[in-house]
Amino acid sequence: MNGRTWLVLGALIAGNAVAFGALGAHWFEGRAKKLYENADVRERREANWETGAQYQMYHGLAIIAIGM
């Protein structure tokens, strides 16, 4: 793959990370209150979602760096 392909791929992955982060912050937070009665479990699930979005962003940025 050439550099441009890596840049586009990284941008798509990073964009998805932003979308999933926003989804987690707005939709999942409210949904988790209905799904998990136990506050400790709910906080862990929300933290897992946040960590996943962060890791996806790191991977997107790494792929962009490869393209550069």
The per-residue pLDDT for 27 is 85
Which pLDDT band holds residue 6 (cuts at 50, 70, 90)?
Answer: very high
The per-residue pLDDT for 11 is 95
- For 12-32, the pLDDT digits (tens) are 999 999 999 998 888 887 787
Q: Quick one: 60 exposed, middle or buried, by C-beta within 10 A (0-12, 13-18, 19+)?
A: buried
The per-residue pLDDT for 33 is 78
Average pLDDT over residues 31-37: 80
